[in-house]
A and B are shown apart, each in its own frame.
Chain A
C-alpha cells in the first residue's frame, strides 16, 4: 500500500491557517477581551478603566435581578428543550409510520426552520396580539386574559411557545432520519418479541434513538440559551421593561444599554464557562453511556 503524506511539515499548518485565523479573530480574541474587561470597571465614555479584580463577578452574584434572570433562563431552557424534543419526537414517530406521506410532511415542517428569528418573533406577536391575536382570543374562551409584554408569566409562555415552534423542524428531521436508520429487521424482531407498541417504543426504538436524542439535547440546550436572542428581542420590541429575559439578553442589555462593560463582560465569561461545562458533559456522556451501533 502506498501512503499518501505531506512532504513538508509546514504544508498542513499552512492549510489550517484560514480556519485558525477565523477562530482566532472571531472567537479567541473577543473571548480574551471579555475576560480581560471583566476585571475592570470601565468609564462609560471610554476615558479610562480601573482594575477591580473580582468585583464585577461578586456584584453579579449579589444582584437579585441577575439571579432572577438566571433562574428564568434555567426554567426557559428546560421547558424549550423538553417540549421541542418531545413534540418533534412524537411527530417523527407518527411520520415514520406513514412513510409515503412523510415527504410532504417533512417539507411542511421544514418551512418553519427557514423562518428568520425576527420574523418568527413578529409572527408570535401577531398570534398573541392583544386585540385580535388568534391565540389570545382562543385563551380568552377559557377566561384567560393573555397579555404579552404586560404580564410576566404570559410573556414567558409566549417566548417558550415561539422558541419551541421554531426549533421543532430541525429536531424532527434528525429524529426522523434516526428512526429510519434503525434496521427494519430489528423492528420486526421486536414485533415478534413484544406485542405492545408502546413497550416496543420504550425498550427498543427509544434506546436506539439515544445517540440522536443526546446530540439534539445539546443542540437544543445551546439553542434555548443563546439562539433565542433574536426572537426574544422581537417579542420584547427591544424594550424589556419588567418582562422576563434570558442571560444572553441581559449581557446585551447591560453592556450596550447600561454601558456597564465590565459587568456585561463578567456575565459573558460566566456563559462561556457554562458552555465549556456543557461540552465536557457531552463528551463524557457520549463516551460512556450512549451506545453507537
Chain B
C-alpha cells in the first residue's frame, strides 16, 4: 500500500503530433479510491497504462510510494491490473491464473497456496479453483481477474473499465463488490471508466478528463455540486445538466428574454447551467414547451424547449397532469454560471438574488 503521485504527466505518441495526455497532476493518498472518468478518447486509459508501465511516459513523473517508476518494468512496479476483457490465461486453471504472478516472484509454494485459497474464499471462487476460465461465466471470470490482483498484495490496484463487459444487473452487483473489497483491503486504487454513474458511486475522488487534460478533481458530490466547466457539468449527472445561452442585462440574468435571477455581472452573454432535478414546476418562471415525457416510475423526465433551446426537467410528482407549456424555476444556489467562450465556471457572487420571476 502506498500513495501514488503523478506530476505533470504527459504522453505524445509521435513527435509533433498532438499530446494524448498532457500536464496531469494527481496526488493519490494511501488507500484512496480514485476514478478517472471521461468520454472515449479522453486519455484516461492511456494514463492508467502509463501508471502500469504498459505505455512509456514522455513527460513528467510517476511515483509509487516514494519511488520514481517512469522507467521501471511493469512487473517491478508492485501494481496489479484488472483488464476490461479479464485477460485471464486461457490455458491455466483459476488457481494457476492467480498463482502465476506469485510463482514468478519466487514465493514459497505454501505461501502461494494460502493466499490463493484466501482470495478464493473472499471472492467465493473456491469451487472453481481447478476449472479453466472458458468454463466460467462472465461474472466469475471478472472475479478471477480480481483474485489475481488481490493475491499479489500490491501497492496499488489499477482497473481498466473492468465492468463494461458485464450485463447491467451484474455490473451493479460487481460495482458494490469492488467497493467493499477495496474498503476492506485498503489498497490504493485507480479506476478507469466512461460511465459517470460508476464513477460517482465508486470514487473517493473523481478525476474528470477531457482531451488528455484534467478538467476537474474532487469528491463526487463536490464535482456534482460545483462543476468546474460546462464539460464537467454536462458529463456528470444524469439526465445531463441543461446548458442554456443567456444574457446579463443590467444585473439581471435573462434566458430567452425571461428573467431568471439578479446577478452582479457585467452585461454580456453567459452560459447558465440548470440541473433537471433542481428545476421545479411552478406557475411562473421560464416557459418550457413540452416535446415528450419519459416516465421512470418514481419520477418523470419532461423534455422540451425554452425558446429554441432544448431543456429537461426531472419532475418528482409523475401523476400530476401537464399542460403543453409549463413554467420552471430554480433555487438561487442551483444556478450555475459559465463563461460562454471558455466554458469555465464563474462563481456566483453572494449578492445574487433570485428574482421572483415574472415572465
Contacts and interface: CB of A to CB of B under 8 A. Distances in A.
A188 B84 CA distance: 12
Given A194-B101, A196-B104, A188 B91 contact: no
A247 interface: no
Nearest to A195: B75
Contacts of A193: 75, 100-101, 104, 148
Contact of B75 (A192, A291, A293): A192
Contact of B100 (A195, A203, A293): A203
Interface centre among A190, A193, A207, A210 (most CB of B within 10 A): A193
A210 B89 CA distance: 14
Nearest to A208: B91
Interface residues of A, number: 20
A203 B74 CA distance: 17
B87 interface: yes
Contacts of B83: 185, 188-189
Contact-residue size bin, chain B (C-beta under 8 Å from the other chain): 20 to 34
A192 B80 contact: yes
A101 B76 CA distance: 30
Contacts of B74: 188, 191-192
B79 interface: yes
Given A188-B54, A291-B132, A194 B75 contact: yes
Interface in A45-81: none
Contacts of A208: 90-91
Nearest to A182: B90
Interface in A132-176: none
Contact of A291 (B53, B73, B84, B91): B91
Given A188-B87, A189-B83, A195 B104 contact: yes
B299 to A, nearest CB: 40
Contacts of B91: 207-208, 210, 291, 293
Interface in B319-335: none
Given A207-B91, A293-B134, A192 B85 contact: no
Nearest to A196: B104
Contact of B85 (A183, A191, A204): A183
Contact of A191 (B75, B84, B90, B134): B75
B76 A190 contact: no
A291 B100 CA distance: 18
A199 interface: yes
B347 to A, nearest CB: 43
A194 B53 CA distance: 13
Given A185-B84, A188-B54, A293-B134, A194 B89 contact: no
B52 A291 contact: no
13 contacts: A185-B83, A185-B86, A186-B90, A188-B87, A189-B81, A189-B87, A189-B148, A190-B100, A192-B54, A193-B100, A195-B104, A207-B91, A291-B90
Given A191-B53, A192-B101, 18 more contacts: A183-B87, A185-B85, A186-B87, A186-B89, A191-B75, A192-B54, A192-B80, A193-B104, A194-B100, A194-B104, A195-B75, A195-B76, A196-B104, A207-B91, A208-B90, A210-B91, A291-B132, A293-B90
Interface of B: 52-54, 73-77, 79-81, 83-91, 100-101, 104, 132, 134, 148
Interface of A: 183, 185-186, 188-196, 199, 203-204, 207-208, 210, 291, 293
